[in-house]
Chains A and B, each alone.
Chain A
């Protein structure tokens, strides 16, 4: 019973364009939400987080939006760069971290 769902297993985007990754959750008690990035043969690395009391957090090219009424969050990457090609995991925290299945992003030159 996954509480955090990423329904798009993959995303292909042209370099310079926007990447939008989506995540849905079912637990309204999550305190905050995080995005992790993972390259092959490496562990996930923390990218950006957002508190459940906010609706937007921005860090450079990365912006996370939270829609609590819809139990939905999204990660925007603008502009997309070749180094952004990776697997992105959405995660949410109540008393522990719960992860989505991941979305593989491929940035085309």
Chain B
């Protein structure tokens, strides 16, 4: 079954404690990206990757890091989380950045930073 898997689904952490949200896809997609969803703002892209070792900033990259060492995995790293990073996060993958067939999304990670 084609899927994008994120872990954890829910996370409560304290300010400044480094965390990683993992994302894995089994469709051999080249393009992967991370979004955050906030009320009234929709989904905003944090970072994207067009292939292994190729990553770039999206609309709201501040406070986040990513890596793409393997095609299937695209972890999101918060080195020093702050309360304004409390949000719902989605990982997505697609054949290419411009796929008219749309991107496949993971089920989301709800992060709370206190």
Contact = CB atoms under 8 A, between A and B. Distances in A.
Q: Do A and B bind each other?
A: yes
Interface of A: 2, 4, 6, 9, 31-32, 34, 36, 41-47, 49, 51, 89, 91, 93, 95-102
A51 B48 CA distance: 22
Contacts of B102: 34, 36, 46-47, 49
A99 B44 contact: yes
A89 B97 CA distance: 18
B-side interface size class: 20 to 34
B57 to A, nearest CB: 10
Contacts of A36: 102, 105
Contacts of A43: 4, 90, 92, 105-108
Interface in B23-51: 33, 35, 40-45, 48
B61 interface: no
Contacts of B108: 41-43
B40 A101 contact: yes
Given A89-B42, A89-B43, A101-B40, A42 B107 contact: yes
